[in-house]
């Protein structure tokens, strides 16, 4: 039995963070009904359909409702009244207009677990602002740490804040369901991208609090630590290598048969290595010219030095033996192009194995009729709603 096998989830989210949260619950057995506007989740077509294909698996069912119509709002309210979990990602106040805010839902479903997922939370000066992942990367301080000091900041090229927020939301929902099981009480949960991103900046916030200094953008490296950056390896590409302590630097020098570098006054301490990092990098890259990437990373690993090749997505998917061995990739389907694709599965395993989310995302409105009939709507009512465009299938 899956842990959430008896849990019904009403998913009123779009974009990435909300769908990630409900996909994780679905991977662990929850019945997820995704409510979409009649025109569909606005992210169905982004990146030629690939984005939707990556976060709407786990047997989610799609129901199309026009929440601006009385019939659509009534159907959504009926779904919410039967749900164990409601997840929404509208800006504060919008759900009240639909009669789907926490207070309205809890009036008919007092033990509901209701999670609101927004850019900035339910209150505060920014609460009404729209926000997506790169906006939060900018405002949280994260973007200010990325790039080179003589160039503008840059964003991380994946939606890491969205995925982190979705994971945080899934964890908080699981906690609330445990609380409900123990007490019989539902909960209202406020999760937002901004606070998740700020918590990820934790050690930089602590550093600033103690020193008054902003983190320095350090390009390919990590500010204040050396050698700790991207290195070129022969004609084979690049690796990233992390050396955090004097002891690790000594181990690195032993592995390269360059023990004299340990006592070189330019490299004796981390502060000295940081001050002379460009010279040190030239020396190390001269040594690395005798290796290919994998050979070098394996040799460094034997002495406890973390290092890994800088891989393209193609190299990761097609050639990485560890990814293949871990069997993380799963089959999905791009419903926009009607083609099979691969995506990343659930990033953990249990004693029963890795939860399976392979399959295909739902077509727009694919399950509208079936879900409404499960609620007790008769065929005549469903047909009338379809004719009035209150729903779509």
CATH number (domain holding residue 139): 3.40.50.10540
State mean pLDDT over 146-151. 92
Q: What is the residue range of 99's domain?
A: 8-200+326-392
Same domain? For 255 and 191 the reply is no
Q: Does the residue 62 lie in any domain?
A: yes
338 and 10 in contact (C-beta within 8 Å)? Answer: no
pTM: 0.92
- Whether 216 maps to a domain, the answer reads no
Q: Which pLDDT band, with edges at 50, 70 and 90, does 141 fall under?
A: very high
Co-location of 39 and 144 in the same domain: yes
**154 and 291 fall within a common domain:** no
Is residue 185 over pLDDT 90?
Answer: yes
Model confidence band, residue 183 (pLDDT cutoffs 50, 70, 90): very high
In a domain, 220, yes or no: no
Residues 161 and 49 in one domain: yes
Residues 188, 291, single domain; the answer is no
Task: Report which of residues 350 and 159 the model is more confident about.
Answer: 159
Beta bridge partners of 330: 343
pLDDT at residue 236 in the model:
79
Q: Establish if 285 belongs to a structural domain.
A: yes
Are residues 181 and 249 located together in one domain of the fold?
Answer: no
CA distance 310 to 281: 17
| Shared domain check, 333 and 306 | no
Percentage of the residues of the chain whose pLDDT score is greater than 70: 100
Q: What is the mean pLDDT of the chain?
A: 95
Q: Could you tell me if 116 and 18 are in contact, meaning their C-beta atoms sit under 8 angstroms apart?
A: no
**One domain, residues 170 and 263:** no
Residues 152 and 293 in one domain: no
The answer to whether position 268 is within a domain reads yes
Locus of tokens 């392979």: 358
Residue 235 pLDDT greater than 90, yes or no: no
C-alpha span between 384 and 390 (Å, rounded)? 9
- What are the catalytic residues? 162
Q: What is the pLDDT of residue 314?
A: 96
Confidence of residue 234 (pLDDT cuts 50, 70, 90): confident
Region 376-393: what's the mean pLDDT? Answer: 95
Same domain, 17 and 164: yes
Does the pLDDT of residue 328 top 90, yes or no? yes
Q: Is residue 124 part of a domain?
A: yes
Residue 75, helix vs strand vs coil: helix
In a domain, 217, yes or no: no
Q: What is the CATH number of the domain that holds 303?
A: 3.30.1540.10
Q: What is the arithmetic mean of pLDDT over 227-237?
A: 91
For the chain, the domain total comes to 2
Q: Is residue 210 part of a domain?
A: no
Question: How far is the C-alpha of 155 from the C-alpha of 139, rounded, in Å?
Answer: 11
Task: Tell me the mean pLDDT in the region 238-247.
Answer: 96
Same domain? For 85 and 166 the reply is yes
The pLDDT assigned to 260 comes to 97
DSSP class of residue 141?
Answer: S
């Amino acid at each position: 039995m899956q842990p959430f096998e008896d849990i019904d989830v009403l998913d009123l989210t779009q974009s990435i963070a909300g769908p990630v949260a409900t996909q994780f619950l679905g991977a662990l057995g929850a019945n997820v009904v995704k409510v979409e506007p009649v025109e569909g989740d606005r992210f169905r077509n982004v990146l030629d359909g690939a984005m939707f294909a990556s976060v709407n698996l786990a047997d989610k069912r799609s129901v199309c409702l026009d929440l601006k119509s009385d019939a659509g709002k009534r159907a959504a309210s009926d779904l919410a009244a039967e749900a164990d979990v409601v997840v929404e990602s509208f800006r504060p106040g919008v759900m009240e207009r639909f009669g789907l805010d926490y207070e309205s839902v809890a009036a008919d479903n007092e033990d509901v677990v209701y999670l609101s997922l927004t850019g900035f939370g339910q209150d505060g000066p920014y609460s009404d602002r729209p926000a997506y992942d790169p906006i939060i990367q900018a405002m949280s301080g994260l973007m200010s740490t990325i790039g080179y000091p003589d160039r503008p900041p840059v964003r991380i090229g994946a939606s890491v804040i969205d995925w982190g927020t979705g994971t945080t939301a899934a964890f908080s929902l699981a906690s609330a369901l445990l609380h409900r099981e123990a007490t019989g009480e539902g909960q209202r949960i406020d999760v937002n991208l901004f606070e998740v991103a700020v918590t990820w900046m934790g050690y930089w916030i602590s550093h600033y609090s103690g020193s008054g200094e902003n983190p320095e953008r350090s390009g390919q490296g990590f500010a204040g630590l050396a050698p700790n950056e991207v290195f070129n390896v022969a004609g084979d590409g690049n690796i990233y290598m992390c050396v955090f302590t004097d002891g690790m630097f000594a181990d690195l020098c032993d592995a390269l048969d360059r023990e004299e570098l340990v006592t070189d006054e330019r490299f004796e301490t981390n502060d000295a290595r940081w001050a002379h990092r460009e010279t040190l990098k030239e020396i190390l890259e001269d040594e690395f010219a005798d290796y290919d990437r994998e050979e070098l990373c394996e040799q460094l690993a034997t002495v406890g030095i973390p290092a890994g090749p800088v891989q393209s997505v193609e190299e990761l998917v097609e050639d990485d033996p560890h990814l293949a061995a871990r069997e993380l990739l799963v089959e999905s389907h791009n419903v926009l192009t009607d083609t099979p694709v691969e995506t990343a599965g659930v990033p953990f395993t249990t004693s029963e194995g890795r939860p399976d989310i392979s399959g295909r995302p739902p077509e727009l409105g694919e399950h509208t009729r079936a879900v409404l009939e499960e609620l007790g709507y008769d065929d005549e009512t469903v047909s009338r709603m379809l004719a009035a465009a209150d729903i779509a299938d």
